[in-house]
Amino acid sequence: MDELTRLRELRADAPVPDRAALAPGRARLTDAIAGRNRRARGLRADWRFASLGAVVAITAAALFITQLVDTPAPRPSAPATVAGDLDLSGPEAALGRAADFLERQEVPPEPRTDQWIYLWQVGGVPAQPTRKDGSEPEVKGTFEVPDPEPSWIPYDDKAAENDESDTDYRTARESYEIAADLPEEPEALLAALRKVFPTGSGPDGPPEAKDEHSFRALHVLLESYPIPPDALARIYRAMATVGDVKVTDHLIRDASGRQVIAVTREHDGGDTRREILIDPVDYSYAGMRDVVTRTHEVSAPDDPIAMVYRRGDVLMDVARVKAAVVDAKGQKP
């Protein structure tokens, strides 16, 4: 995906592909993924796969990306007193408690148009499926993951705002205003987001059902930074009402080693689930995962030997380590 920066280093014992030779494969890979989102030069929220073949291409390429480098030290796990107060019995309980907390927070002023968003994300594609005959898949493309170094994104980016090539992309300023204007009532909020982030058609895949569309639209917006705490509270309350949304009954480890809440929903008609990760201390957005829910085989159009994906394989794992508003590009919070 063209919005993701490359890993600066790869595992020492893994061969480094020739970028020129792999360029056509990379183009084919990015075309296979439904849509693109350059938000904050981070990972796209809309990881809908246009076909099962796209999953094959993505994870085959990931064979080169098997270990994070320069990963920051994990933030300490949530204090026992905080974790003990969590109610992970279901989405209404967990997300309702998060919303209650956020509604008590002071709303900071909106960033100035000359300010920047500092963003630090880490992650990768840890799953390494095998071919049915036991051989390693031929890698025909590259896959970019969040750079272990931070990035800076202008809060107000007029050039990007006028680029209509990605219907899901919004600048940080646009996203802030979208979130701030969301209605209170969950059904109305979800309807508003489905309108802002339309469902797929044509090369972006078939249109999504209402609940799948709602969950994806929520995630697209959650990738934005900053979101006012009162707006985030409304988003979480609406998320709890989306059909088939669940909350894992225990904290999980994200790509940076932190313990986080996982709000999950299985992709309609697929064999994976999306996990939206939330910090259990301040209830901020903490990242995402895509996880295989059923062991299955997938065949790529140009590879007659099926790939085997096993239940529990993590296809994508990205953690937001730090996000902040700063006064200049290169400034650290």
Helix, strand, coil tally for the chain in percent (to 5): 30, 20, 50
Span 132-144, pLDDT tens digits: 666 666 544 444 5
Average pLDDT, the chain: 76
Span 193-252, pLDDT tens digits: 999 999 875 555 678 999 999 999 999 999 999 999 999 999 999 999 999 999 999 999
Q: Which of 205-214, 257-266, 306-315 has the highest mean pLDDT?
A: 257-266
Peptide bond into 146 cis (omega under 30): no
Find out whether 231 and 179 touch, Cβ atoms under 8 Å.
yes
**Angle subtended by helix axes 210-222 and 229-239, to nearest 10:** 160
Q: What is the model's pLDDT at position 269?
A: 85
For 281-285, 296-300, 319-323, 329-333, which range has the lowest pLDDT when averaged over its residues?
296-300
Q: What is the model's pLDDT at position 135?
A: 65
Span 14-32, pLDDT tens digits: 343 333 333 333 333 333 3
Find out whether 313 and 271 touch, Cβ atoms under 8 Å.
no
Q: Is the pLDDT of residue 55 over 50?
A: no
Task: Provide the residue ranges of all domains of the chain, joining segments of one domain with +.
Answer: 19-72+79-326
Amino acid letter for position 327 = D
d(CA 19, CA 38) in angstroms, rounded, equals 21
Q: Is the pLDDT of residue 80 over 50?
A: no
The pTM of this model reads 0.75
